[in-house]
Structure 1
Amino acid sequence: MINFLSQFMKEHFDNLTLKPPLFYSWEYGIRFEISIPWVEHEDKSNLQQIEERINSIFNKVFSDGDEMLLITDIHCERNDSFLQKRPTKVYQKYIKDKELRLKLQYRMLPSVFEDYEEIVTHRFVLPCKKSDIRYKPLLTAISYEDFPHPSQILKGFPRNGIDIYFVNVTRKMIYHLYDDRGCDVIASNKEDLRSLYEDLNDWILDYDQEQIDQLFK
C-alpha cells in the first residue's frame, strides 16, 4: 500500500512529496483558517468554530463510498523510542475494525524535510473508508496537538512531530489539518475544489485569499 501511495502521488500529483505545507507545494489547493486568531484555544467560541470547520471541510472532501488512505507520519530522531512505547496509537484508537488494522503498512523513510539528516519519518498507511474512521475525535485530537490535552497523540514526546493526511483515492484529493490554525486541501484537478471554494469561501485564510481567487477566476 505504501508503494500504491508512491504510484498515486506520481500519477496524480506529479510525484509531489507528501509533506507540509501542501498548499504552497501544489498548484491546485485551498488553505482554510480554522481557529479564531488571537483567541485562547480553550475559548468556547473558538472550540465551536474549530469543530464546525474541520468536520464540515472533511465531509465535503470525503463521501461515504470513497476509497481512502489514512496516513500518519511521525518525525523523530532515528534512535527515538516513541514507536516502542506507543506503536500506531492513531490506528488503535481511531480505526473501528481490528481486522482492518491488519492491513496497516509501515516504512521508515529519510526525513521528508530537507536538511534534517538526523531525523527520520516513520510512515504508516492504511486503506480504508470514511465509515472506518472515528474521524471526528481524530480531527479534534489533531487540533489539540500543540496544547496540553488528554487526546494529544504525541503526549510526552514534545521533540517529535506528527502529520496526518487523509487521501481521497477516488476523487484524487488530500486533506491535511496541520494544526488548530489551518487546513490545506489539494486536488489533482482544480475543478474538484470549486465547490469548496464557493461554499466555504468565508473560511479561506485572508493571507492567501487573493492567490486562491485567481485560481478560480
Structure 2
Amino acid sequence: MKFNPIFFDLDGTITDSAQGIIRAVQYALESFNISASKESLIPFIGPPLRDSFAQFFPGDPEKIEQVVAKYREYYGEQGLFEARLYDGVADLLRQLAENGHILALATSKPESFAVRIIEHFDLTHYFTCIAGAQLKGTRTDKPAVLRYACETLGITPSEDCLMVGDRKYDVLGAHEVGMPCAAVLYGYGSEEELKKAGADQICRDVKALRKLLTGE
C-alpha cells in the first residue's frame, strides 16, 4: 500500500456541499441585514468559519460568534443535508477500505456535523476516525485537526500518510504536520491556488485520484 493512513477532507473532496453552506451563510448574514451573492461566498467553503465571517465583522469577536450561531441554526437543521456525494467517491472509499487502507476524515467543519453527514451518506464504516473542529471554536485549522486525527489513530505524521483535499488549507496543513497532500480539482480550489500552495499531486477527477491511491 503506497499511502496509509489516508486522510480525506469533506467539503469539496467527498461531498459537493456548496448549496447548503452558501444558503447557511446567506441566512446568517441576512440576520445582520447584509446581502451577498452566491458567487462571492464560495471562499467560505474550506477555511474555518470564524475566519471567513471576520471579513464582514473585523475586530468584533462578539458579532462573529453571533453570526456563527445563526449559520449553525440553518446549517444544523437543513444545510448539512443540502449536499451530494461526488460520483465515484463512495466506491473509491469502499475499495480503499477493502484493500486494507486506514481511512480518516479530517475537516475544519465541526466534528458533530461531519459525523451526521457521513452517517447520512452511509459512509461511517469506511472511516476509522472522524476528526473535525469543536463547536466552541477550538481545533479549527487543518494542522490542529490532522494532529488530533493522528493522535486518535496512534500514529506520527509522515511521508507514508496522505492528505486528500481541494483547497490550499489542506495542502498547507498537511505540510505543516509533515505529510504530503494530493489535491483534487473537482472541488472548490483552483489549479493555480493548489499549485501555489505546493500540492504534491494534483488529480483532475475521481478517476485520477483512484489511480493515484490504488494504481488502477
**Do both share a fold (TM > 0.5)?**
no
Instruction: Answer 1 or 2: higher relative contact order, Cα 8 Å, separation at least 6.
Output: 1
Q: TM-score, normalised by structure 1?
A: 0.27
Q: TM-score, normalised by structure 2?
A: 0.27
> Which one has the bigger strand percentage?
1
